[in-house]
Amino acid sequence: MTERVNISSGGDYEAVFGYSRAVRVGEHIHVSGTTAREPARSGDAYEQAVAVLSIIEAALRDAGSSMVAVVRTVTYVTDMKDADLVARAHREAFGDVLPAATMVEVSALLDPKMKVEIEAYAVEK
């Protein structure tokens, strides 16, 4: 059986909800929906997305991987008017990697300050 490795980022909700920031099974790494922490949580959608992608990058690093291995992202925004701001942060974080990506608007996230949540999926060779 392939070894499973759970990665924690120490986020408040990980213990409350009982989940891992990321899970690596073999060459597959799944990064949970990630939101910004304070003080970035009080920023605009761009600032939040930059913070989120930084947390994702750290989780991937802890899993023995990097942003280059990301094959798919799913982004949730609370206001589609923020799409360009979030897209800019995504483009800056991934550059030429160009993962498959989806962005959808949701009515709310866990904290009313949260404007963006991002999931990532990576395959490490």
Asked whether the predicted pLDDT for residue 125 surpasses 80, the reply is no
Burial class (CB in 10 A: 0-12, 13-18, 19+), 77: buried
Quick check: 56 and 65 in contact, CB under 8 A? no
Mean pLDDT over 113-120 rounds to 97
What is the tens place of the pLDDT at every residue in 39-76? 999 999 999 999 999 999 999 999 999 999 999 999 99
Asked whether the predicted pLDDT for residue 1 surpasses 70, the reply is no
Quick check: 122 and 94 in contact, CB under 8 A? no
DSSP letters, 44-113, are -HHHHHHHHHHHHHHHHHHTT--GGGEEEEEEEES-GGGHHHHHHHHHHHHGGG--EEEEEE-S--SSTT
Question: pTM higher than 0.75 for the full model?
Answer: yes
The pair of structure tokens assigned to 83 is 């799409």
